[in-house]
């Protein structure tokens, strides 16, 4: 018996099985080779599609039949093109059919590797990317909230590419940035400035959106400051804090109120750090924006006013001077 004999039922079902109960007995077959899949698709187009089109005026039966075809025909992302273009037709796509396809897409793209998600999205045609974007957005958010993932640079790059393509509405962009700004993962937190800058510079944004980004930058900075200063393996927290302040300078240029608040917070924080950290930071901070350099200089002067310990020898003093004079920014000399 031919495994495709069930296809013949579509021609006679209106007479012998008008309720199409035979659909429940159709089972999905998996194929090892692509040409086998293509052969199956050709058989569906020739033996099933013409009869499906004839029952379109019976919505419930048509929906049930289409859902079964989706179930037995979805093998990979290329199946979307076949189903939408050649079996269903974009003009017949309704919410119920879309949900059925989305269910199988969601199962197929479920992975802890963002590179797979990007690859699957790229495999879709331009118009289907729009149709399938919501299910990819959902998986994207799941990845962003997954605390088990070790975020390698390639993962972060794929996530950024997806962010730039999947999210276009300001409300959706803000939801992603809020999620990113509250991440428990430092590598993800470090991505926030790049993503925020893209969100602001890649489109004409409203003043309200820019204000929200600015406020979010403030919240993000507090989060990453706490995350890093609590880590024992951070090389020099002073350098890191000023580096991240510089990373969001594209926002702080317009929000001097937020900048002042963050600078005051940083100054209070680093005054509790060992003096040596501030001295060693001069060679890095001196290369940042002039406003940041100027504010760091105030902190440095305050630290230099602190009396050296009584047992500080000449070599230690020379070392401090050497650290400061190694700065690449002239305001720190």
Contact between 202 and 154 (Cβ < 8 Å): no
Q: Domain map of the chain by residue range?
A: 169-333
pLDDT tens sequence across 138-181: 999 999 999 899 999 999 999 999 999 999 999 999 999 999 99
Q: Hey, what are 22's tokens?
A: 């035979």
Helix and strand element counts for the chain (H, E)? 18, 0
In angstroms, the CA 52 to CA 7 distance is: 11
- 205-242 pLDDT, tens digit each: 788 898 899 889 989 998 988 887 666 666 788 888 88
CB 181 within 8 A of CB 220: yes
CA 279 vs CA 172, 204, 272, 324: distances in Å: 43, 42, 14, 6
Most distant CA pair in the chain: distance in Å? 104
User: What pTM did the predictor assign?
Assistant: 0.82
What pLDDT digit, counting tens, does each position of 180-206 carry? 999 989 999 999 999 999 998 887 878
DSSP 253-319: TT-HHHHHHHHHHHHHHHTTS-HHHHHHHHHHHTTS-HHHHHHHHHHHHHHHHSPPPTT--HHHHHH
């Amino acid at each position: 018996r031919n495994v495709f004999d069930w296809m013949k039922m579509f021609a006679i079902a209106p007479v012998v099985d008008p309720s199409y109960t035979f659909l429940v007995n159709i089972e999905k077959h998996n194929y090892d080779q692509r040409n086998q899949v293509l052969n199956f698709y050709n058989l569906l187009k020739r033996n099933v599609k013409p009869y499906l089109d004839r029952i379109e005026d019976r919505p419930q039966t048509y929906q049930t039949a289409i859902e079964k075809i989706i179930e037995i025909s979805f093998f990979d992302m290329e199946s979307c093109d076949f189903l939408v273009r050649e079996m269903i037709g974009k003009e017949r796509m309704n919410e119920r059919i879309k949900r059925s396809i989305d269910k199988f897409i969601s199962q197929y793209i479920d992975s802890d590797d963002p590179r797979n998600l990007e690859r699957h999205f790229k495999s879709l045609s331009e118009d289907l990317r729009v149709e399938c974007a919501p299910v990819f957005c959902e998986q994207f958010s799941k990845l962003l909230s997954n605390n088990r993932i070790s975020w390698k640079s390639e993962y972060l790059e794929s996530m950024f590419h997806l962010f730039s393509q999947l999210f276009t509405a300001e409300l959706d962009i803000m939801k992603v940035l809020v999620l990113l700004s509250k991440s428990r993962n430092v590598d993800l937190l470090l991505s926030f400035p790049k993503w925020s800058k893209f969100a602001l510079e890649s489109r004409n944004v409203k003043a309200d959106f820019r204000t929200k980004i600015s406020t979010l930058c403030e919240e993000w900075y507090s989060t990453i400051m706490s995350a890093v200063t609590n880590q024992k393996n951070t090389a020099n927290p002073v350098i890191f804090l000023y580096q991240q302040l510089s990373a969001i300078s594209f926002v702080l240029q317009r929000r001097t109120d937020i900048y002042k608040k963050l600078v005051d917070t940083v100054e209070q924080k680093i005054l509790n750090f060992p003096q040596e950290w501030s001295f060693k930071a001069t060679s890095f901070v001196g290369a940042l924006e002039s406003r940041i350099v100027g504010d760091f200089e105030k902190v440095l002067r305050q630290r230099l006013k602190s009396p050296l310990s009584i047992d500080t020898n000449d070599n230690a003093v020379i070392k401090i001077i050497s650290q400061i004079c190694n700065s690449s920014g002239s305001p720190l000399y």
